[in-house]
Homo-oligomer: A and B are copies of this chain.
Amino acid sequence: MRDSELADIRNLPLFRSMTEQNFVSLTRAAYDQTFPPQVKLIEEGAMADFLHIVVEGSVELFAGWRDRETTLAVVRPVSTFILAACIKDAPYLMSARTLEKTRIILVPSVDLRATFRIDPEFAMATISELAMSYRSVVRHAKDLKLRNARERLAAYVLRQSQMANGAVGFVLPIEKRLLASFLGITPESLSRAMKSLQEVGAKVDGQRVIITDRKALEAYAQPTALIDGPEYEGSAGFDLPDARAEAEAIGL
């Protein structure tokens, strides 16, 4: 494992406060691996043998039932995922696949469980991480149950804008079919919802989103911290990655 990666991992809220000794032994037990795009890393139902940490690339967390599939999150560097399954020593509830060439650190969950037994600071960090993840999924459930498709999309656009420091324009960080699946709708519905956003203050052109009337969009989406975040520290959060702000789009 490279030093720069180690430093990045060490800096995650989950690992930041543990003793150096425990961090070293935990990461020594770990190994890293690089995967091509579209490789299934985890099959839901399998036993949770490893905590995963994305250090390069991106990973989709999804779940299936019968012939249906839904995206639950897209994870970007540097973040951990499927912590809860590792802790409970239980089957994964989600599958994971790489979206691009991706580098993953794998920490055996047995070492993980051993470590927070002996390192109180790590235990505290784990508690904090899990509480955050929990709240994140609760927000997702509220979003799904309280808003319709267009409202969810509008709120998503405002969230992305927020994360891009309030930028008026940004580029969608993921494919639209993934966004649709995350929002719980079909790509066709997303397409239509995007067009209809023009009536309430946002325009989508290809990958580019531009907020044409923030007041109107906010009046429509009624964003609230109790559904839309803010999301906290960079890990297993139940959300999609930040949009990169579009320099050109600012000031439109």
Taking beta carbons and an 8 Å cutoff, which residues of A are in contact with B?
A: 44-45, 63-66, 68-70, 72, 83-85, 87-88, 90-91, 93-94, 116-117, 120, 123-124, 126-128, 130-135, 137-142, 144-147, 184, 222, 224-227
Contact = CB atoms under 8 A, between A and B. Distances in A.
A84 B131 contact: yes
A127 B124 CA distance: 9
B84 A146 contact: no
Contacts of A64: 146
Lowest 5 A-B CB distances belong to which pairs? A130-B130, A65-B146, A84-B131, A70-B145, A87-B131
A147 B65 contact: yes
21 contacts: A45-B226, A65-B146, A65-B224, A66-B146, A83-B131, A84-B131, A87-B131, A88-B131, A88-B132, A90-B135, A91-B225, A91-B226, A93-B138, A93-B139, A117-B124, A120-B120, A127-B130, A137-B137, A137-B141, A144-B145, A145-B184
Contacts of A116: 123-124, 127
A66 B128 CA distance: 30
A135 B87 CA distance: 11
A93 B145 CA distance: 14
Nearest to A119: B120
Nearest to A116: B127
A51 B89 CA distance: 26
